[in-house]
Amino acid sequence: MLLLPSLALALCTSGAARAADPSKLAGAPDDAAPPPAFGTDVSVGVGAGALLGEWPDAGVHGTLGGRVDLFMVGRHTPGPRLGASFWGRTAVWPVQTSTTDDGVTTPFGVTQYGVGAVMRFDPETRFTGTFGFGFGRTDLDGYEGGVWAVPTFIVEAGLRQSLGTLYVDYGAQSGWGSARGPSTDWEDWWTVGAGIGVGLHAR
């Protein structure tokens, strides 16, 4: 006979505990929502670069570009984040020039774009390092009167300053490519550049 009063007391005690703890109310989740399963950074920037080789005149050109970085974890995840980066840039004023054998000097454009792997070492700190490498394409607009495409291997490194949802990137990039020129001989090309970009943690 003591079983029924004991069962009733246990049910009342359990109900009172649920009433005192809002997290145990009907429909409330037992655990906090998990962080986003991926992250996205979007940025635009300006800088300066140079195309090195036998054909261009010595000098620098301005650049305007942008990039999208995709990560497997969100920006609030501690520790380094490894992801994929899609980027592109084009030459703006000033532009580089080339001089022919008969002394004619003409300006030419440089457009670069590619994809690579990037490492953001600690997105939650005020300053953190960045590193990446990958492959791209360098289009020379005006090379021998047309557009010449050079496959390029790219390495980049820099420093990121966190501003909450926003960030500022200070970076440098170098690349090497080789392609057959109009004379069918292999020609080596080097690209170097540095710039500053402003970005947003979209996720």
Contact predicate 23/14, CB 8 Å: no
Report pLDDT digits (tens) over 88-133. 999 998 888 888 888 888 888 999 999 999 999 987 789 999 999 9
**Nearest alpha-carbon partner for 67 in 197, 160, 190, 176:** 197
d(CA 129, CA 81): 11
Report pLDDT digits (tens) over 148-168. 899 999 999 999 999 989 999
Give this prediction's pTM: 0.79
Residue 174: the pLDDT is 97
Contact predicate 152/179, CB 8 Å: no
Q: What residue spans define the domains of the chain?
A: 38-201
d(CA 23, CA 11): 18
Return the number of other C-beta atoms located less than 10 Å from residue 30's C-beta.
6
Query: Which residue(s) pair with 81 in the sheet?
Result: 120
CATH of 38-201, one of 3.20.20.70, 2.60.200.20, 2.40.50.90, 2.40.160.20: 2.40.160.20
Report pLDDT digits (tens) over 179-193. 887 677 888 999 999
Q: Among all chains, which residue has been given the structure tokens 């939650």? A: 124
**Residue type (1 letter), 40:** T
Task: Give 137: exposed, middle or buried? Use CB within 10 Å, 0-12, 13-18, 19+.
Answer: middle
Q: How far is CA 69 from the centre of its chain?
A: 4
- Give strand ranges (E) for the chain: 39-52, 61-71, 81-92, 96-99, 105-120, 127-143, 146-163, 166-180, 186-201
Contact predicate 18/30, CB 8 Å: no
